Amino acid sequence: MSGLFLSFEGIDGAGKSTHIEALAAALRARGRTVVLTREPGGTPVAEQLRALALNEAMDPLTEALLMFAARRDHLLQVIEPALARGEVVLCDRFTDATFAYQGGGRGFDIAVLETLERWVQSVPALPAGRLRQPDLTVWFDLPPAVAAQRLSGARVPDKFEAQPQAFFERVAAAYARRAQQDPGRFLRVQADQPREEVWTELESGLRSRGILT
């Protein structure tokens, strides 16, 4: 079987973690080997960078550089080897999150992010000029006001989760722009539903793409 790379995206509180675990179980039941991972993180180096990026104050460029440095190590150490072995990689966030949080939420220069994306996601397995992107990105679209209700009192927030609702409105708008730019890669799931209905919508979308059979 050929490798398959899926990313799960959405603002904090959208329910990604619950459904990524359910999808991993469904794929394993169908005989696929699944690698569950996350960004920032996924390797010892990237997890250290995650701790810095999520908890330390820094300017937007430093933050973006840390995200892409973690991504490069993650790609080379985890994602690319798994795809070469024909496995399924399920990643909790990838580059779309950087464009949403640093680009949309922080208002950082999109052109700089695009340059970093080209540098970091050019990998040896792909022809020159082609970037490693997920085969499918599942976007859990949730109104920021609902996300705030879900997150209130859940745990001690990191510096992103502690941002005001206006920040998450900008993040959500940036996710919508990314989906409009590459609609074939995105599967939008309405996350403002009961958990069972979200899973039903996700499962239906994955079946229509031939990922669940």
The residues pairing with 188 across neighbouring beta strands, listed in sequence order, are: 139
Q: Is 147 annotated as a binding residue?
A: no
Asked if residue 15 belongs to a known ligand binding site, the reply is yes
Question: Is-contact 98 173, C-beta < 8 A?
Answer: no
Residue 126, φ and ψ in degrees, nearest 5? -110, 150
Tokens standing for residue 92: 């909790």
**Residue whose pair of structure tokens reads 């996300």 in the numeric block:** 147
Establish whether 2 is an annotated binding residue: no
202 token code pair: 């996700």
Does the annotation flag 13 for ligand binding? yes
Find out whether the peptide bond into 40 is cis, omega within 30 degrees of 0. yes
Instruction: Please tell me whether 17 is known to bind a ligand.
Output: yes
Q: How far is CA 206 from its chain centroid? A: 17
130: left (phi over 0), alpha (psi -120 to 50) or beta: beta
Phi then psi for 187, rounded to 5 degrees? -115, 110
Q: Which residue has the tokens 């937007």?
A: 60
The CB density around residue 43, as the number of other CB atoms within 10 Å, is 19
**Binding-site residue ranges:** 10-17
**Binding-site residue ranges for ATP:** 10-17
